[in-house]
Amino acid sequence: MMETNDIVGLFLSLSELRMIFPRLKAQELSMGSGERELLRKIELMLYDHLSIEEMENLLPKPGERSFEK
C-alpha cells in the first residue's frame, strides 16, 4: 500500500473555488465533520478575497439547500 503524506496536494484557483462552493454549501448539513471542515476552509478563503455581495451571490438561495427538498 502506498503511504500518503501532507506534501501531496491540490491547489485550486479562486475562480475554481467560486465554482464549487455553492454546490458544497448546499450539501453542508449532510456532510461529515471532515467535509464540513474543508468547506469552512474554502469559505474562509472566499471571504478573504471577495466582497460581501459576491459571497452572498454564491450562497444557495432559500429553498435550494439539500435539506429543504
pTM more than 0.75:
no
Which residues 6+ apart lie within 8 Å of 42 measured at CB? 17, 20, 21, 24
pLDDT above 70 for 58: yes
Report pLDDT digits (tens) over 11-35.
Answer: 999 999 999 999 999 999 999 999 9
Task: Tell me the three cell numbers of residue 17.
Answer: 473555488
Three-class DSSP labels, the chain: CCCCCCCCCCCCCHHHHHHHHHHHHHCHHHCCHHHHHHHHHHHHHHHHHCCHHHHHHHCCCCCCCHHHC
Q: Which residue has the higher pLDDT, 31 or 10?
A: 31
Report which residue type is found at 29. L
